[in-house]
Copies of this chain bind each other. A is one copy, B any other.
């Protein structure tokens, strides 16, 4: 088993796989990371030399989206042609588009698990348990390779599902990527609107647990938020357009003092939310 990257996802994969007795070899960027990864026992072998991947039958590219979409040529050359290769990126269409040409046994996949942590200290055991792990095969995807990635996901306790890469990207734009911007705009408007009203301190003192929840993902990792928007731009823009339409409609009800329809809309939202939990 090979891992490329030992951050939150790669490190967690290493811990779970080693606990199951699988031999894990990992490629990392910096030698300081390699040392710390060995101390944490995230893998059996860790190296900055791509040759460490020779002999691996299944390789997970646990890289940030930008490095996955524009990989080091030495990495591509080092991937054995007969290995099954998968990734863990949160956007699938551009990954599939590139990698299906770059490797004959590539499978695009997305384990939907995470914490607020990143880096070599972030990996934890059991991260994938009972979480969705989405495979997005294309027409050219090798069915045996797909089955191998599914087996990996299920061995780690994840709930495997398959869908079209485009459908995946539109869905995560709606429930994950666009909401980052919606939540970030809320923080900015509380800050700017509070300042404009001469109530900069008051908004901070009165913000409650509701505001903390609504602003959580907007105040998250800026690298991740930017990469999501950058790598899933068409779907994020489409999701923003859908969002704006809904917000406009609610605003029109407030503007028009249409309290009955507003109550009906909020009642539908109350009924909708459990479907997403």
A residues in contact (CB < 8 Å) with B: 112, 114, 132, 134, 161, 163, 167-168, 170-172, 174-176, 178-194, 196-199, 202-208, 210-223, 225-226, 229-230, 233, 236-240, 242-247, 250-251, 254-255, 257, 259, 262-263, 265-270, 272-277
Q: Least Cβ distance of A234 to chain B in Å?
A: 10
Closest residue on chain B to residue A216 by CB atoms: B213
8 Å CB contact of A242 from B196, B257, B270: B196
Interface SS of A by simple majority: helix
Q: Could you show 22 A-B contacts with beta carbons less than 8 Å apart?
A: A167-B199, A171-B199, A174-B190, A175-B190, A182-B182, A182-B185, A184-B250, A184-B269, A189-B243, A192-B242, A193-B243, A204-B276, A207-B276, A212-B276, A215-B273, A216-B273, A218-B269, A220-B270, A222-B263, A222-B266, A222-B270, A229-B259
Is the Cβ of A276 less than 8 Å from the Cβ of B211?
yes
Contacts of A178 in B (CB 8 A): 189
Contacts of A222 in B (CB 8 A): 263, 266-267, 269-270
8 Å CB contact of A170 from B197, B242, B270, B276: B197
Contacts of A240 in B (CB 8 A): 247, 251, 254
Number of copies: 2
8 Å CB contact of A175 from B112, B171, B207: B207
Q: Least Cβ distance of A69 to chain B in Å?
A: 13
Is the Cβ of B213 less than 8 Å from the Cβ of A214?
yes
Contacts of A244 in B (CB 8 A): 247
